[in-house]
Structure 1
Amino acid sequence: MRHTPAILEDMRSVAPPRQARLDEPTRGRLAELTAELLASRPGSGAELHRYLSIARRTVPLPERAVSAELRGRTVAVTGGSGCVGTVLLRQIRRLCTARLVSADIAAPRRPVTGVEYVEVDVRSAEAVEGFFTRYQPDIVFHLAAQRDPGLAERFVGYTVDTNVVGTFQVARAAERAGVGRFVYASTGKALRLYSRCVYTESKRIGEWLVADVAGHGRMACAGVRFTHVVDNSIVLDRLRRWCDDGEPVRLHSPDTVFYVQSAIESAQLLLSTLLAGADHVFRLHAIRDLGWPVSLLDLAAGYVAAHPPVTPLYLAGHEPGYEETPYPGLYDPTLSGDVSPLLNAVEAHHAEEAACAAVDGVAVTACGAPDLLDRLPELRRWCQVGSDRQARRVLDEIGWDLLVLTMRSTSPAILDRVARLTSEHRPTMSDEHRRVDDVVRRYAGRVPAPARAGTAPAVL
């Protein structure tokens, strides 16, 4: 029996990456190689089982204390018709008696008993203001977002209008309405210092916008970072669709691994933020132990093996919206295992245990940047007129300025540590990562300098 690397090399030779469609002879040969690959990786079924079992995983939420924070309150959940929003509403209803209101652009597929469902498009300032005027919530969980990174690259304006402008409008309307606590659902992808991926940058800027509101001192704000949620998995949906249709399963890379959490963990993480200090400091929260990352190759192989006949695997390369290689200074290995992998090397040095065991929190001080806020009307205008190219340009400029401001306000000692971690990787960095590294080095008091070759692992 041949080993996996040789089989993968044949797959790449038969079907080079970045092809939109594969002809029948190529698909047939890939199916043969896929069958051989499945035989060489008998553990892939166990990886699929492990992945699916994560849906049952929980965190130790202090339910009595959380219940006391919620009881008798009016709680609004934007995006309450979605997977995590629905689980969150169920958890609150189980914990205590509270008035629950869901604000979502879509009707719920699985309505929660006792929840008031209201159609609200967060892109509409008028609709958002009307919602807060009518319901006057005490607590807001802002989950409404366009969450598909690939879709974000194809529908830039819609994504930016929802994730950036929508977040700004919801946070500011909540503040004006006298909301006591505001919780923002972000993504682990926002740990990147800078990215040209639309989804990643939209959520990273969203974090900054909420941190800016927190700095006003009138509304306690917190954020959470989710990683891949198995219950509403984009990957699993694609695997199911491709296998059902007999279409090739398109994989970014056989080396891709990614962290996973459950919808109930996500809801519990959101609720745990209610126990944080109610001050003007924006705190990000993330689950500390997410287990071993899941192998995309084994997950796909396990799924294909469990759903005969064999659907061919195709190493298609990374789609727009997904980074091929992360910036090598993203993590500090001295903190690996002790701090959530959804906090970057800059943030992790300030991590502290949150009120909920198994959750890390980190205080984030928003960089004072009125110029960035002044760009929002221009950003929204391009979104509304359908100019994705211009919306992408402004988003990228805001994201880059935010990187510079963040590095400027970060301790030079921490940045020097990051610069030392990246030194050996500079010759193999992408142009984008080298630009980021130059900014890190500038504010660490170093000058950009090439060094020895190296690589970084691909983690989504």
Structure 2
Amino acid sequence: MSDVDHGHGYYPRGTPEVLAEMRSIVPPGQDSVDQSTHRRLAALTGELLAARADGGAELQRFLSVSRRAVPLPEPRVAGELRGRAIVVTGGNGCIGTVLLRQIRRLCAARVISADIAPPRWPVPGVEYVQVDVRSSGAVEGFFARYRPDIVFHLAAQRDPGLAEQQASRSIETNVLGTAKVAWAAARTGTRRFVYASTGKALRPYSRCVYTASKRVGEWMLADVARHGHMACSGARFTHVVDNSIVVDRLRRWCDDGEVVRLHSPDTVFYVQSALESAQLLLAAALAPADDVFRLYAIRDLGWPVNLLDLALGVIASSRVTPIYLAGYEPGYEQSPYPGLYDPTLSGDVSPLLNAIEAHRVEDAGVAGVDSASMVACTAPDVVDRLPELERWCQVGADRQARRVLAEIGWELLVGTVRATSPAVLDRIARLTADHRATMCAEHRRIDDVVRRYAIRTPAATVHAPRAVMTANQG
């Protein structure tokens, strides 16, 4: 029976009771459920729909973000782009297409989209060229021919789950492809390079392929800038509603009558629009033309979206499809490092910048956008290890490629921490003091490095707000 009897009739159960029964029926980590379990989960999902009637509102709030925009100083952007040869790698994707439209709208320029696939939504006036960024020959030939003034590099594997399943291919694209494009651009005289990164790269260290690959990509561009080869900047995105991996999966599961797999009912995540993302890249193109790599991120991303309510909203708009609390899959982090944020800056700095980066925020010159200079850390072995990484990727040796990527990521963490102010590290160490006993092994290892270089002054522990600490950064 789905209702509770207190001797005076029945009343519907609340969310905690229903979720507890869902967990008791089938534990996390199962690849599939049998028909009997499918029916029981469907009944419980119906109870959740009744208990949480705001799911539809959450879906509408999510979809409404697609209309959000950044107040871009368009005359300044147009002045930066006008008359230039501009390349957008990965320009045939969702954000790339919006970016191409924005550039064409703002000014007269030669615009080239370089992508491995043909365009689904061609933009008038744009030249389309097929290029695989994993191919050195293709990249070198392309840059030798077009010699762009400005490059927006968006070509990447963007799905964290697929990056885990296709590790070698994803590392080839996100790490080695980025290196090939950046170095070819610098050699052929590109004056400005803008890199599309991810909010997940705020993690100080991660073994997740997608996160690690993007964090290494940021460092490589910082290294190019540090040596004076080319002005480089980056934009961190979170979950983009216009090409939402989450909603696409939810709708597919509902349409096919399959089980809806959720990481956790407590999962929340920030969102932004494709227009905001394209405009953020254009804002990053206004970065000072010096030897410092700067990261750009939207300051106020609104209140995070609740995954459970979003799923219920999609189910309510389709048909009752059973929810299964499947646990966190590879590529997604269950909980963040406790020192990820400084609570004294919460609300004043973008949640896509971590505690180290937040202390380096500068005036971006664009309303609602933060700019943070990346810690200039030297890690000479990183570039030296790229040929080894490429050899493993080319033969599809995922385990070895993962190992090398993880080792590179760890070297970058140590280099970043060593180059960070000991006072900032000391504050992070105090934030994490009460969490040491419950940290996972990886987070404790990160914390050990932070403490090694911190001032180590005794002080009261400070706690970060829960809503910010648990939000997935896309």
For the superposition of Structure 1 and Structure 2, which TM-score range results when normalised by the shorter chain?
over 0.9
| Alpha-carbon distance in 2 for matches of 1:239, 1:9 | 22
Structure-2 change in CA distance of 1:455 and 1:431 (3 Å): farther
Amino acid at match of 2:405: L
- 3-state DSSP of counterpart to 1:106: coil
> Are the aligned partners of 1:243 and 1:307 in contact in 2 as well (CA < 8 Å)?
yes
| Alpha-carbon distance in 2 for matches of 1:118, 1:452 | 52
> Are the aligned partners of 1:140 and 1:181 in contact in 2 as well (CA < 8 Å)?
yes
1:306, distance to aligned residue in structure 2 (A): 1.1
- 3-state DSSP of counterpart to 1:375: helix
2:451 equivalent in structure 1: 441
| Alpha-carbon distance in 1 for matches of 2:440, 2:456 | 20
| Alpha-carbon distance in 2 for matches of 1:453, 1:147 | 32
| Alpha-carbon distance in 1 for matches of 2:243, 2:75 | 28
TM-score of the pair, normalised by structure 1: 0.97
Amino acid at match of 1:260: V
1:266, distance to aligned residue in structure 2 (A): 0.3
- 3-state DSSP of counterpart to 1:113: coil
- 3-state DSSP of counterpart to 1:123: coil
- Is it true that 1:176 corresponds to 2:195 in the alignment? no
TM-score of the pair, normalised by structure 2: 0.94
Deviating more after overlay: 347-356 vs 164-173: 347-356
CA offsets 1:359-387 (integer angstroms, 9 cap, x no match): 00011143122111100000011000110
Deviating more after overlay: 342-351 vs 273-282: 273-282
2:223 equivalent in structure 1: 212
Structure-2 change in CA distance of 1:420 and 1:148 (3 Å): same
Equivalent residues, number: 457
| Alpha-carbon distance in 2 for matches of 1:302, 1:41 | 10
> Are the aligned partners of 2:131 and 2:139 in contact in 1 as well (CA < 8 Å)?
yes
1:36 equivalent in structure 2: 47
CA offsets 1:240-296 (integer angstroms, 9 cap, x no match): 110010001000000000000000000000001122211111110000000000000
2:338 equivalent in structure 1: 328
Equivalent runs, 1:59-458 vs 2, <5 Å: 59-308=70-319, 310-446=320-456, 457-458=469-470
CA offsets 1:96-115 (integer angstroms, 9 cap, x no match): 11111000011111111111
2:9 equivalent in structure 1: none
- 3-state DSSP of counterpart to 2:295: strand
1:453, distance to aligned residue in structure 2 (A): 12
> Are the aligned partners of 1:427 and 1:453 in contact in 2 as well (CA < 8 Å)?
no
| Alpha-carbon distance in 2 for matches of 1:365, 1:36 | 50
Q: Which runs of 5+ in 1 are unaligned?
A: none
Structure-2 change in CA distance of 1:455 and 1:396 (3 Å): farther
1:445, distance to aligned residue in structure 2 (A): 4.1
1:327, distance to aligned residue in structure 2 (A): 0.5
> Are the aligned partners of 1:225 and 1:285 in contact in 2 as well (CA < 8 Å)?
yes
1:216, distance to aligned residue in structure 2 (A): 1.6
Amino acid at match of 1:223: G
Amino acid at match of 1:218: H
> Are the aligned partners of 2:379 and 2:411 in contact in 1 as well (CA < 8 Å)?
no
Q: Which runs of 5+ in 2 are unaligned?
A: 1-11
Structure-2 change in CA distance of 1:144 and 1:429 (3 Å): same
Amino acid at match of 1:341: P
CA offsets 1:332-382 (integer angstroms, 9 cap, x no match): 111000000000001001112301111000111431221111000000110
| Alpha-carbon distance in 1 for matches of 2:445, 2:164 | 22
Amino acid at match of 1:338: D
Structure-2 change in CA distance of 1:225 and 1:455 (3 Å): closer
| Alpha-carbon distance in 1 for matches of 2:465, 2:57 | 29
1:218, distance to aligned residue in structure 2 (A): 2.8
Amino acid at match of 1:458: T
| Alpha-carbon distance in 2 for matches of 1:361, 1:429 | 30
